[in-house]
Structure 1
Amino acid sequence: MVLAAALAAGGAVMASAQDTKDSTAAGIAQYREMLADGNPAELWEAAGEELWKKPAGPKQASLEACDLGLGPGVVKGAYAKLPRFFKDTGRVMDAEQRLMYCRMTLQGLTKEEASARPFSSPGKSSDIERLMAYVASESRGAAIDIPLAHPEEKRMYELGRRMFFYRGGAYDFACATCHAQPGLRIRLQDLPDLLTADGARYAYSTWPGYRVSQGEVRTMQHRLYDCLRQQRFPEPLYGSEVITALEMFLARNANGGKMDAPSIKR
């Protein structure tokens, strides 16, 4: 009798905890849905399109001839097929690395100028975040398509996979510590399992995203940089290969998902 009562009480507690978790998740989903109708990222998209078409740099050229992988000037659908191998550079590049390259080759900026202020801060906006909001928005609804057709793409994917499971830093964390099993949460935030198609698609397809808590659109480079920072890993340089490798791993896992960025985040 006592054992039966204890088991019943334990089951009731577990059921109550699950109900609370489900209720919290539903509340967060409703909050995001309410905000999505007026996503401020639209302002970043418009500003980014203006910057894309505006002559700038020593060459006073726009970025309208930038080749994001589908040919010079083709922006529609390009983000959904990045990262990818580019023959003109001989390496795999993500959208932000490719933007840096186009700003250097088309507009005549130095590498330092083309990568200056990649992440905005209070009182200091970022042209890169605005340009990425525009580029990503042009792939909204497009299917993520990372075929790993080139040996360098396969190498980068494997490097990203190894980095995902690599443990280090002061906390001995890896990306997999938080993102390799279902049902995990930090504070009120669900942590997607990025080894599953559904989890990877949900995460990858929604970046860049407008962060309500920061009042800025943040790019995928920023998202991964911030994850490594929180793991207490050495600070990666902007546009570094390790970030591109992680992006390649996540993008490939998300194959077939539909891009829905810039989205809105907490």
Structure 2
Amino acid sequence: MNTKRLGVAGAVLLCALTAALAQTSSTDEIAKYRQMLADGNPAELWEMRGEELWKTKAGPGKVSLERCDLGKGAGIVKGAYVELPRFFKDTGKVMDLEQRLVYCRMTLQGISREEAVKTPFGAAGKQSTIEPLVAYITSESRGMKMATPTAHPLEKRAYETGKQMFYYRGGSHDFACATCHSADGQRIRLQELPNILNKANAQAAYTTWPAYRVSQGEVRTMQHRLNDCFRQQRFPEPMYASEAITAITMFLAKNAEGGVYAGPALKR
């Protein structure tokens, strides 16, 4: 028996077990940290500001967004998010929440598209209007099940387009969304990578966005999350509120169908 070889193999196994335990321990600690802060999620401040913005008259039209139809009728926000993206007859397009908010701000409040998409993502000393609106509207679907419609031909097409984008490889690293999110048990450092093709994983991931990012001190929307994924793939940053982002959001939302919406959540 080669005891030296056994010793090396044992050391390798010990290192692997230690690393696995460290990862599990780190994941548990992150979960505990989130739980500790859950009752005081700063996203609530964004939700309150968003409700105020929703009801405040603004723009050249001097009207509020309370006439904005998010799919359930003018001004109805309760349960709207869990049925987005969806087809809208007035535009003839499938739209996600952020795209629809841009549209309503333009058509109801009379502001230009340039103004409507200005500062979609907040930073220190530079508040976003979109992020609090999204936080408020999504919070009104908390506890409801995801039920994104795909009956309309354009909804089906958006889903299929989003699916193609999920698997499309490119950029300097030849990455796709699927590179990180189509297998169980993958992670980058301490960050678990949900398998979007696994229904439970897809539900857990999608139903917690938007979220307050502790590391950034801001509420981040789904658009921001996807932009960051494209950045990490070394892809060009998508245009804000583009149809491409709506398509991949449709794919993600449909994969999360039946999941109970729990956002805005708290993330590292």
- Tell me if both proteins adopt one fold, taking TM over 0.5 as the criterion: yes
| Gap regions ≥5 residues in structure 1 | none
Contact 2:84/2:149 (CA < 8 Å) preserved in 1?
no
Please give the secondary structure, in 1, of the residue aligned with 2:109. Answer: coil
Aligned to 1:215: 217
Q: Is the 8 A contact 2:68 2:104 kept in 1?
A: yes
Structure 2 runs not aligned, ≥5 long: none
Tell me which residue corresponds to 1:226: 228
Q: Distance in 1 between matches of 2:232 and 2:15?
A: 33
1:158 matched residue in structure 2 = 160
Amino acid at match of 2:144: A
* Alpha-carbon offset, residue 2 of structure 1: 3.4
Equivalents in 1 of 2:12, 2:238: separation in Å?
46
2: CA distance, partners of 1:202 / 1:153? 23
State the match for 1:61 in structure 2: 63
Q: How does 1:50-199 map to 2 (within 5 A)?
A: 50-199=52-201
Residue equivalent to 1:264: 266
State the 1:24 CA deviation. Answer: 1.5
Map Cα deviations across residues 36-88 of structure 1 (whole Å, 9 max, x no partner). Answer: 12110000000000000011111110111111001111100100110000011
1:17: Cα distance to partner?
A: 2.9
**Aligned-pair CA distance for 1:10:** 4.9
8 Å CA contact retained: 2:93, 2:154? yes
**The 10-residue stretch of structure 1 (167-176 or 14-23) with the greater mean CA deviation from structure 2:** 14-23
For 1:90 and 1:190, locate their aligned partners in 2 and report how far apart those are by CA, in whole Å. 38
CA drift at 1:21: 2.0
Structure 1: how far apart are the matches of 2:2 and 2:30? 39
- Number of residue pairs aligned between Structure 1 and Structure 2: 266
The code of the aligned residue for 1:166 comes to Y
1:8 to partner: Cα distance:
5.4
Identity of aligned residues (%): 62
SS for the counterpart of 1:217 is strand
Q: How far 1:9 moved relative to its partner?
A: 5.2
The alignment's TM-score, normalised by the length of structure 2, stands at 0.95
Give the counterpart letter for 1:2 in structure 2: N
Is the Cα contact below 8 Å between 2:71 and 2:86 reproduced in 1?
yes
SS class of match (2:40): coil
Q: Distance in 1 between matches of 2:106 and 2:206?
A: 27
Aligned to 2:252: 250
Query: Whole-Å Cα distance in 1 between the matches of residues 13 and 60 of structure 2?
Result: 69
Report what 2:37 is aligned to.
Answer: 35
Matched, 1:2 2:2: yes
